[in-house]
Amino acid sequence: MIKAIIDGINPDKYIYDTGLDFGVDVGHELLEKAINHVEVFERRYNFYYPESPAQLTRKIGAANAREAYRRIGQMKAAYTGGSIKLQQYAFPDDLAQQFLNTVPQWILDLSPGEPTPALQISCGGDYIGVHKGHKRQVSLFMLLQGQGQETRWYRETEDFALIDMLRIPDYDKIEHVVTAVMQPWRWYIFNNFEWHSVHNYSDGLRINVGFDFNNISTSDLLKAVQEQEVTA
């Protein structure tokens, strides 16, 4: 289910069900490894969360730290429950190549050296607060296991400073525009570079894999996918 919350919004800018079905067999193998042998993957740290105000102040300065904690306060006030535990993983070379071998050549041709396969496992809370990608602009996203979590995208209603290390928005200056409940074993174009959050967690692991692009945009990937749809 994908729907616009505000009239005039095109959801395709944020999330798009491609209908592609490559790599599902490998996906089932990845799910088994993620549940039972996650040690074969290497932890990836693409985001930063401060251990203390003093640590954050040393990294980004007092004024930015005060603003960051104000925004963290907004996030906690916006949702009930606690923030989930999110862990990101890189693939070992052999498993990455096995997964990449399933990708259609026209996708591999979009950006030299990309995409990069990645694994995410989340659990233990109620939400992932609003954030945006640090490096990756867009991903091909496949949910391997979930419980109907809802991903929401937002647009800025006013300009505000981007605190790059944390990438937390000013909640007073964004609005919810698109909601998606993604289904397992389907490839979606996922816009990482727009503000987004995840909600409706329940007991159990949410596990997803993706192919990340740092050097092409969502519109670039969407155009390529839709061109393939026309010629198919």
- The answer for residues whose C-beta is within 8 angstroms of residue 40's C-beta and 6 or more apart is 33, 92, 95
Residues facing residue 163 across a β-bridge = none
CB 40 within 8 A of CB 95: yes
Residue 46 pLDDT > 70, yes or no?
Answer: no
Q: Where are the domains of the chain?
A: 2-49+82-231
pLDDT band at 12 (very low <50, low <70, confident <90, very high): very high
| Fold observed for domain 2-49+82-231 | Jelly Rolls (2.60.120)
Which residue from 156, 192, 194 is spatially nearest to 175, judged by alpha carbons?
Answer: 156
Mean pLDDT for the stretch of residues 82-103: 92
Residue 232 pLDDT > 70, yes or no?
Answer: no
Task: Report pLDDT for 207.
Answer: 96
Q: Which long-range contacts (CB under 8 A, 24 or more apart) does 35-44 make?
A: 35/145, 35/205, 35/207, 38/89, 38/121, 40/92, 40/95, 41/89, 41/90, 41/91, 41/92, 41/119, 42/89, 42/90, 42/91, 42/92, 43/87, 43/88, 43/89, 43/90, 44/88, 44/89, 44/90, 44/118
- When mean pLDDT is compared across 124-128, 146-150, 154-158, the lowest value belongs to 124-128
CB 89 within 8 A of CB 41: yes
Residue 133 pLDDT > 90, yes or no?
Answer: no
Mean pLDDT for the stretch of residues 102-131: 93
- Comparing 72 with 180, the larger pLDDT belongs to 180
Task: Report pLDDT for 49.
Answer: 65
CB 39 within 8 A of CB 92: no
What pLDDT, in 10s, does the model give residues 95-111? 999 999 999 999 999 99
What pLDDT, in 10s, does the model give residues 150-197? 999 999 999 999 987 788 999 999 999 999 999 999 999 999 999 999
Residue 85 pLDDT > 70, yes or no?
Answer: yes
Residue 127 CA neighbour count, 13 Å, CB half: 16
Residue 48 pLDDT > 70, yes or no?
Answer: no
Mean pLDDT for the stretch of residues 117-122: 94
What is the distance between the alpha carbons of residues 44 and 207, in angstroms, rounded to a whole number?
15
Which residue from 220, 232, 230 is spatially nearest to 13, judged by alpha carbons?
Answer: 220
* pLDDT-above-70 percentage for the chain: 97
Residue 136 pLDDT > 80, yes or no?
Answer: yes
DSSP 174: E
Residue 2 pLDDT > 70, yes or no?
Answer: yes
Which residue from 98, 180, 191, 99 is spatially nearest to 146, judged by alpha carbons?
Answer: 180
- Comparing 11 with 68, the larger pLDDT belongs to 11
Mean pLDDT for the stretch of residues 87-94: 93
Q: Considering the chain, what is the average pLDDT of its residues?
A: 92
